[in-house]
Structure 1
Amino acid sequence: MEYSPPPLFKQGPSALARLMFFVVLALALLISDARFKTLEIVRGVLGAGLYPLQRAALVPRDIFMGAADLAVTSATLRSENDKLRAKDLQLSQQANTAAELAAENTHLRALLQLSQRSTTQSLPAEIQYDTRDPFTQKVVIGRGAQQGVQDGSPVVNEDGVIGQVTRVFPLQAEVTLLTDKDQAVPVQIVRTGLRSVIYGTPKGDTLDLRFVPISADVQTGDELVTSGLDGVYPPGLPVAKVVRVDKQADTAFARVICLPVAPVRGARQLLVLHYLNNVPPRPAEEPDAATAAKDAKAKKGGKPADSKAAADKSAAKPAEKPAAKPAEKAPAKPAAAEKKPAADKSAKPQATPGAQP
């Protein structure tokens, strides 16, 4: 007869109990990370540790792309060289014009005693790969906190806005693209100056300009640029172009569909901007000062009225006293004297007729 341990020591937790435990643990970690960012340190450590493996996994792709670049013909290189020279001439002319305008603008600002515009620093970066979530529009760039990337920094290329940094790691950063459904950018229409907010769409191919009144002047082809009112994006960056405007009588806002100006999915080399907004802070609110000012105005306005009322009272007092004195003292005695003869006269005729018969 074989010896077997008692069932109490042989059996462990059931499979269902283990499943429920790990499901509850996973949900708790998801909620705590989404709400309180409890796993940011762990994610940063894992990202830094897996960075060499990621670079090693990208080596075959880099080799293939390098071989494809070497296979370019000399004719293609000549044509590209000619195009680049022509573009260089255009850019040099534009740079000279911009330098003249900047000098003139600086002189005018000095004359008007206006503050200088906020400066913008840029950091070049390159997209490494897309994120694994198919329902979001996010990419990972090869610059992180060690290179000076900050959370919330705008990301652009030579055409316009690409997105915004939403998560920073030591050597990498996650960028949410402009077409993501949760991404919002304050913009304004160049032609009319109308300000609004543009959002991504669930499909990820168009943009939605929201909160535009149905009576607003919005036309197909209008260009949208950043307004800079949020203090995150520098003003004047190209964002999108209006492609369709739908206005219905039963709604208060028009539906404005836009397309991004920059190739959000086609760009590879990017610039991460660090916008230094030199706007002075707002003054502290002082409700007591406002009430004090109102009280001071009330006091200033009340003095003439009080003096006027006092003058009226003083003018009315002399008129009352002379009228009261003759009525009380001087005319009182003659009136009493006159009443006695009148009473005697009235009494005498009444007695005489009764006595004569």
Structure 2
Amino acid sequence: MDSEKDKKRAIYCLTSKGAELGYRIKQLIGGDLFVYEKIKAEFSCLRFKRLTSLISEVFHAYREHIFITAMGIAVRGISPYIGSKEADPAVVVIDQNGRYCVSVLSGHLGGANELCKRIAELIKATPVITTATDTEGISSVELLAKKRGMHIENLSALKDVSFAMIEKEPVQLFDPDNVFPLDYPKIIKVSDETEWRKDIPGVWVSWKKTEALNNKLIVVPKSLIVGIGCNRGTKKEEIRDAVQSVFRSFGLNVKAIGLIATIDKKRDEKGILEFADEMDVAVKFFSSEELKCISVPNPSKTAEKHVRTKSVCEASAIAAVKMGQIVVPKQKFKNVTIAVALKKAH
């Protein structure tokens, strides 16, 4: 197969013309090219005997699927494996002559619409996109969240918000940090939680925990940096329990964690690294020289004695946000200290 960079994309071809087009697309954007075994091909490709059997094996292994087949063949092939908006990969179908490129599945979150437009432009095809927000020229809430690296807490509420926007009805927006520039003319901006109306659908953008409603789409920005200090050998589970305890106590959403920060002496601290991997966030390390210059609310003589700085968790969280602020000062546990800082909105 191709390099790891291209593993995300699979291209399926059933005819000679389709295989030629598939090879062309592979050359343009990369991917693994699967060609029906009876087709003669003078280029490198992977062979298959039955497309349905192949799809059952690889559907969840790729993030993007390009079928150069009839629409019905593609739909019948993928239908047993379609799950949800959150998990489904992008699916695009192209006719063998390359005239039409159709976005079929996971247009926004999976990226099928963007993939469709990209391929269409490259092969001079007509892109066919049927998602209502796109056909109406309305901003896609989930696509905006995806582009900004934000987490949608309750996708089930998306249908009410999207329906209201398509029907040109009012939509509420609670976005106190101004990080979600939703372009829609009938936005009702809500500046205080008490102003929220349960009878009007809307988008709630916050790093704090909030009550979920059927028509209240919760979008969580990755605005929080967790500063961590710990004793050598502290397990991932203990670190996770400490972080979750802090977030529960202070009403914060763990999905808002965008970065973990700590001292560089912890570069090989397995518990921190494993916790970061579990949360799918990066770890930023700071030297004791960098940290000792930072003023913190709760300096520690013990920390200064062992790592030559009066603070690890608070100082590293502050260092990571630069112009941000501490929202949770140091919280002490048996083997862990936790502080949380908020990135300043740009």
Normalised to the residue count of structure 2, the TM-score between the two structures is: 0.23
Larger Rg: 1
The structure whose residues are more often helix, as a share, is 1
More RCO (CA 8 Å, sep 6+)? 1
Normalised to the residue count of structure 1, the TM-score between the two structures is: 0.23
